[in-house]
Amino acid sequence: MNLVQIRLRIDFDKKTVLRTPAHKVFDALGGKLKGGGGPIEPAADIKFEDIKTAVKWDYDSCKIVIEQDYEQYEQYQDALMKLLLMIDSAAPIGRMQSILLDTNWMLPVTLADYASLNALYKQKMIIHHDFMNDASDSSVILDFAMGDYILHHQSGPMQSEQLRNDWLMFSRKDLPKLFMFLNVAIKQIKVVDYSKKEMGNFFKTAFAHCRSHSEGFGSIWEVVNE
């Protein structure tokens, strides 16, 4: 399967979230928002069009999106680490409540139309019930607990416009018309202190699980293109 997007999200531990002047005034005056939380403040939201990378930092989380087409997994990890080091030097990350590596994949298929692929997907992935006969769009969502990690799976047949409109942040013109889509994510739910070593260990584990899962899922659909 072809990797089309990587998303990293770090949620900062609530006990060590950066306390800005606005937060301090808000707290001092007994401010409360519906649903909890603090005041809405400006955040760093930057796009690097030349390398199809985006960074969004706010007071309780940091998100990085990469849609650059690197040949090796190590290049994605290097790009993420470089950005994290820059962010940490400006606003120390500290303790992390959770870390999520989110990967999106596609496998082009040669079936004539979306309806045919959707019918095949339902046949292979979903136990049939009569009420599903007229379903025009199908998806399977699963979560697997693995110790300190959770693996999330979402898949389904897709057309290029849906990927552009619902998932991608940057323009892309080389998408196939029809493909099988897979979103697989690894979330570490153990609270840990940020460090280059800690992130390196997480990336090694998360990339390995995401790649293995995508290969297993992709093998189901290889016969479609034969």
What is the reported pLDDT for 135? 63
Query: Looking at residues 148-158, what average pLDDT do you find?
Result: 95
Average pLDDT of the chain to the nearest whole number: 87
pLDDT bucket at 99, cuts 50 / 70 / 90: very high
Q: What is the mean pLDDT of residues 91-110?
A: 93
Tens digit of pLDDT for each residue in 53-88? Answer: 999 988 788 999 999 999 888 899 999 999 999 988
Calculate mean pLDDT across residues 113-123: 88
Identify the residue with better confidence: 220 or 152. Answer: 152
What angle is formed at CA 145 by the lines to CA 141 and CA 149, rounded to 5 degrees?
A: 105
Percent of the chain residues past pLDDT 90, beyond the cut: 57
pLDDT band at 25 (very low <50, low <70, confident <90, very high): low
Of 102, 101, 100, the residue nearest 12 (C-alpha): 100
**Does residue 34 register a pLDDT over 80?**
no
Q: Domain range for residue 94?
A: 2-225
Q: pLDDT value at position 124?
A: 86
Q: In this predicted model, which residue has the larger pLDDT, 93 or 27?
A: 93
Give me the pLDDT at residue 22, please. 61
Percent of the chain with pLDDT over 70: 83
Confidence of residue 134 (pLDDT cuts 50, 70, 90): low
Q: How many CB atoms lie within 10 A of CB 1?
A: 22
pLDDT at 226 over 70: no
What single-letter amino acid sits at 19? R
Q: pLDDT tens for residues 176-209? A: 999 999 999 999 999 999 999 999 999 999 999 9
User: So what's the pLDDT on residue 156?
Assistant: 94
CA distance 119 to 128: 11
More confident residue, 125 or 193: 193
Find out whether 140 and 156 touch, Cβ atoms under 8 Å: yes
pLDDT of 35 reads 64
For the cut 90, the answer to whether the pLDDT of residue 155 exceeds it is yes
Q: How many domains does the chain have?
A: 1
- The answer to whether the Cα torsion of 122, 125, 127, 132 is positive or negative is negative
